[in-house]
């Protein structure tokens, strides 16, 4: 089942009644709205004048609905998830924490290879040159000791947005960097939600390690999924829209990322469901019953 994403960009009062999310607006001309909580996967709260009751928060968390809040720049900045995401959480975290260094290096090698292959497939789909990316994907070694991930990313973005004068991938750079930042933030939340639901700690990564980053593992596992965000942003660039401001219409499109169709294990699936398959396969690697992470293949 595809879970819905709700976005609140204006003042609102959010409460609950009869297992429904109830929305009331300050404007008198807007009617009360209700949405079944069981249908929700993500709730994005952007406006600073949104009020949400503790009863609703409790029900959303129990439903494993990710509650995402945004900062003053309107970018997602926090994620509320349950303390207990899986019935076997303690054992699963123990397997994760006990993972050997050779295993983590192998998992990162698989992740980088999958990311570069998806980047190459995206460029080929657009009729652009991807020979270097295809070669680099085959040259990735354990732990990506030669940093092919960064080398490939620089070439990929330069080629992907060659029509955009002076473009370089930088969080504070010129558009469409703002769209990429927003899309990746949504993807990060999708990944963290799936990791927690699979009973793992999103802060303990296989490659990323930073004491100030609570989502190191999410940042690892989302890498091969990034090209799906890129293709959505690229289509916005081709459409010739004004991208200087991250408008509500642009955000509305980017908020459909969790429901995007991807191909994983030869079958089409919504991205949020595919991510759960990826995180479950990751746990099987930590547990020792598998040696391969299941990632989608860009088509």
The CA distance from 247 to 74, in Å, is 10
**Residue 3 gets which letter from DSSP?**
P
Nearest to 255 by CA among 186, 192, 177, 194: 186
Angstrom distance (rounded) from CA 179 to CA 185:
10
Lookup: tokens for 5: 């994403």
**Cα 24 to Cα 8: distance, rounded to the nearest angstrom:** 11
Which helix H or strand E contains 219, and what residues bound it? helix 216-221
β-sheet bridge partners, residue 263: 268
Spatial neighbors of 216 by CB under 8 A, at least 6 apart, are: 202, 203, 204, 205, 208, 209, 210
Task: Assess contact for 169 and 153: CB atoms under 8 A.
Answer: yes
Asked if residue 299 belongs to a known ligand binding site, the reply is: no
Q: Is 74 a known ligand-binding residue?
A: no
Taking the C-alpha atoms of residue 167 and residue 157, their distance in angstroms, rounded to an integer, is: 8
Q: Rounded distance, CA 173 to CA 165, Å?
A: 12
Cα 297 to Cα 66, 228, 247, distances in angstroms: 26, 10, 31
Q: Contact at 8 Å (CB) between 82 and 89?
A: no
244 labelled ligand-binding: no
Tokens read off for 206: 């296989």
Annotated binding site for Mn(2+): 149, 208, 223
Q: Binding site, residues?
A: 149, 208, 223
């Amino acid at each position: 089942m595809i879970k819905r994403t709700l976005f609140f960009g204006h003042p609102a009062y959010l409460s609950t009644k009869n297992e429904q999310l109830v929305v009331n607006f300050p404007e008198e001309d807007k009617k009360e709205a209700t949405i079944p909580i069981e249908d929700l996967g993500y709730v994005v709260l952007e406006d600073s004048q949104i009020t949400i009751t503790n009863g609703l928060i409790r029900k959303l968390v129990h439903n494993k609905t990710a509650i995402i809040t945004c900062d003053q720049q309107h970018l997602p900045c926090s994620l509320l998830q349950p303390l207990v995401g899986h019935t076997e959480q303690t054992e699963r975290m123990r397997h994760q924490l006990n993972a050997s260094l050779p295993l983590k290096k192998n998992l990162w090698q698989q992740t980088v290879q999958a990311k570069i292959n998806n980047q190459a497939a995206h460029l080929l789909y657009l009729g652009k040159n991807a020979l270097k990316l295809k070669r680099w994907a085959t040259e990735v070694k354990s732990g990506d000791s030669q940093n092919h991930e960064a080398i490939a990313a620089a070439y990929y973005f330069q080629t992907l947005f060659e029509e955009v004068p002076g473009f370089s991938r930088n969080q504070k750079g010129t558009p469409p960097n703002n769209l990429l930042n927003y899309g990746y933030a949504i993807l990060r939340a999708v990944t963290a939600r799936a990791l927690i639901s699979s009973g793992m700690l999103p802060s303990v990564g296989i490659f990323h390690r930073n004491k100030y980053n609570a989502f190191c593992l999410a940042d690892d596992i989302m890498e091969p999924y990034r090209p799906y965000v890129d293709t959505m942003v690229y289509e916005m660039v081709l459409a010739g829209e004004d991208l200087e401001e991250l408008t509500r219409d642009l955000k509305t499109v980017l908020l459909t990322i969790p429901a995007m169709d991807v191909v994983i294990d030869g079958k089409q699936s919504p991205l949020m469901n595919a991510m759960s398959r990826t995180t479950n396969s990751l746990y099987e690697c930590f547990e020792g019953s598998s040696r391969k992470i299941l990632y989608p293949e860009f088509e």
